[in-house]
Structure 1
Amino acid sequence: MSKKFVLIYGDAFVDYIAEDQSNSRFTKFLGGATVNVAAGVARLGAASSFITVTGENETSEFVRNELAEEGVDLSFSQIVPEKEVSGVYVHLLENNERHFERYVDVTPDIQVDFSAIKNEIIHETSVFHFCSGTLFHPIALGTTRKIVENMKKSNVLISFDANIRPLRWSSEESCRETISSFFNMVDILKLTEEELFFLTETTSIEDGIKSMQQYNIEALLITIGAEGTYAVLHGEVVHVPVEKVIPVDTTGAGDAFVAGILSKIYLEGHPSTKEDWIRYIAFSNRLGGICATKPGALSAMPRLKDLQ
């Protein structure tokens, strides 16, 4: 059976993003790291399918309509009437970095039901992507583990963006242990510099990379903002620079980077050489840079026309 889509699993969010650095007025956007990636992949011309759970209220309708407009397939997603989509308030700091100030999650125990996921989804998936956004919750953690294990058995390429949000975890140790428990099952792991230091309890890129060598990860991608990306490809460390931009809002830049990697894999295939990986990463660095020049997250996700 042909590989029909990039499959992304995660929570849909509504982002309430501060309009300026006073953090007193907010604009509503469809959001969440996995939502951004799902839409970003579709905007780049790849087939994108998203597994999530929504309800039957106005906010859930907004989420589904927005995703449909982005061209994201929701045929494997689930609707539970009483589910309320989570929200997050995002403040802007003086250096235009974003700060996740407060989460609102009224129905945390309503998660994707693994038993309701159709079997054919595994055979139709080109590459599967998830992040840690819901791993703090035991039901979501169990569902994620089952999906990843089934994908692994079927030799589907697996991508994981740590995307750590400390406010959602009961402790740093729980966060560290849970996220690290997936490392031996993934082929592509995307971390920020800060996440590398947090997870490995180191203070330098070099020491962090050494600590990560215990895991069998094909491509470890460490994004370092304006300095580009350090890639550890089958154990070899490569630095891939990025063209300098003037950042307006870095929200979603990492998600644009991930969307670039996933769309390239779908459209051009699994990278077989170091040179292919570097080309994919350079493309994704450029997408992250473009995203950082615009306000918002999903609203700033690049489209193919932005690359002309």
Structure 2
Amino acid sequence: MVQSNKTHVLTYGDAFVDYIADNTTNSSFSMFLGGATVNVAVGVARLGVPSAFITITGDDTTSEFVRGELKKEDVIMDYAKLEPEKRVSGVYVHLTEDHDRIFHRYIDDAPDIQVAVHDLKEEAFQKASILNLCSGTMFQPTALETSRKAVEYAKKHNALFSFDTNIRPLRWKSEAECRETISSFFKDADLLKFTEEELTFLTETQSVEEGLAKIAHLDVPVILITAGADGTYAVLNKQLQHVPVEPVVAVDTTGAGDAFMAGVLRYVHLNGLPTTMESLVRCTAFANHLGALAATKAGALTALPRLSELKVT
């Protein structure tokens, strides 16, 4: 770790629950912790790095389940908010006769109860080596305001800012609002992560090269564009390098991007932001490996690897 006072990786976002059918009758369901930012926070903790999570939960059994599971994963919840009326969002996942998964019904009974600006504790940012956000809650006005304040606090306390665009198109009123809101965070980012599709969508271009040219004026130090089985395009100070990934037999790619991000955040926490192409390739190759491992198992959180399963130092 570069600075001794920077004790943890900090993630802000929504907790989420997957209700997955126990069989193809779709009449009974088991509850699993889920959501992109949850996956990243847990993924970082499983990689042996202190991981703190800013989120909001309620007083019902589902919220108790979420808090209990995060505690089991050693995620630091000191900066999270408990609001009795809050209800954690979720999705019911049905199984077809062929055992394919279908997202049947989303539930969000308290969408306007969010972490507010005044709920943020500056201590969380003082101790953070890096703040990681994704766009999953930014369609909601309070969450958007809180996201902007979180970035402000990160900059104030010399924490790096990592932004995984992680677009969920159906949550936005329009493509234009989605593009404008998400893109407004780019100028403050020390590290940006896209999929190929997200980069071309947000920049309204047709290729990775065109998309990067469109945002080149922002001078983002590190940009990572994941391309699934084709690996990742790593960009350091506008220099592009392709980093391949070892081929695997993919069982379920759900959560592979979150495993990738957890790997990147671990590297940055321990080594600082890459400043040479050699160090960026090393960081990206490690993250690629984690993403590939996650794709070989079913589920998202269940597939995230642990440090004990890896040959790393």
The equivalent residue for 1:186 is 189
Equivalents in 2 of 1:159, 1:117: separation in Å? 18
C-alpha change, 1:18 and 1:50, in structure 2 (3 Å) is same
Secondary structure of 1:191's aligned partner: strand
The equivalent residue for 2:264 is 261
Equivalents in 2 of 1:236, 1:67: separation in Å? 38
Equivalents in 1 of 2:186, 2:122: separation in Å? 24
CA drift of 1:91 comes to 7.1
Q: Does 1:51 align with 2:49?
A: no
1:243-270 Cα offsets, whole Å, 9 max, x none, are 0001000000000000000011112333
CA drift of 1:103 comes to 2.8
Q: 2:126 aligns with which of 123, 129, 137?
A: 123
Contact 2:122 2:153 in 1 (8 A): no
Equivalents in 1 of 2:62, 2:241: separation in Å? 43
CA drift of 1:169 comes to 0.9
Q: 1:80 aligns with which of 79, 83, 86?
A: 83
Q: 1:246 aligns with which of 246, 249, 257?
A: 249
The equivalent residue for 1:12 is 15
Please provide the CA RMSD for this pair.
2.2
- For 1:38, the aligned partner's letter is A
Secondary structure of 1:213's aligned partner: helix
C-alpha change, 1:295 and 1:193, in structure 2 (3 Å) is same
**Mapping of 1:164-243 within 5 angstroms?**
164-243=167-246
Using the TM superposition, name which of 142-151 and 241-250 deviates more: 142-151
Secondary structure of 1:150's aligned partner: helix
Secondary structure of 2:199's aligned partner: helix
- For 2:31, the aligned partner's letter is K
C-alpha change, 1:98 and 1:7, in structure 2 (3 Å) is farther
Aligned residues: 305
Equivalents in 2 of 1:264, 1:270: separation in Å? 8
Contact 1:98 1:251 in 2 (8 A): no
- For 1:67, the aligned partner's letter is L
5+ residue gaps, structure 1:
none
Equivalents in 2 of 1:292, 1:77: separation in Å? 30
CA drift of 1:152 comes to 1.8
The equivalent residue for 1:134 is 137
Q: TM-score, normalised by structure 2?
A: 0.92
CA drift of 1:97 comes to 10
C-alpha change, 1:110 and 1:259, in structure 2 (3 Å) is same
Equivalents in 2 of 1:211, 1:140: separation in Å? 27
1:39-75 Cα offsets, whole Å, 9 max, x none, are 0000000000000000010000000000000010000
CA drift of 1:151 comes to 1.1
The equivalent residue for 1:39 is 42
1:131-190 Cα offsets, whole Å, 9 max, x none, are 001000001000111111221233310001111111111111111110001000111111
Q: TM-score, normalised by structure 1?
A: 0.93
Equivalents in 1 of 2:180, 2:25: separation in Å? 33
Identity of aligned pairs, percent? Answer: 58
Secondary structure of 1:133's aligned partner: helix
The equivalent residue for 1:302 is 305
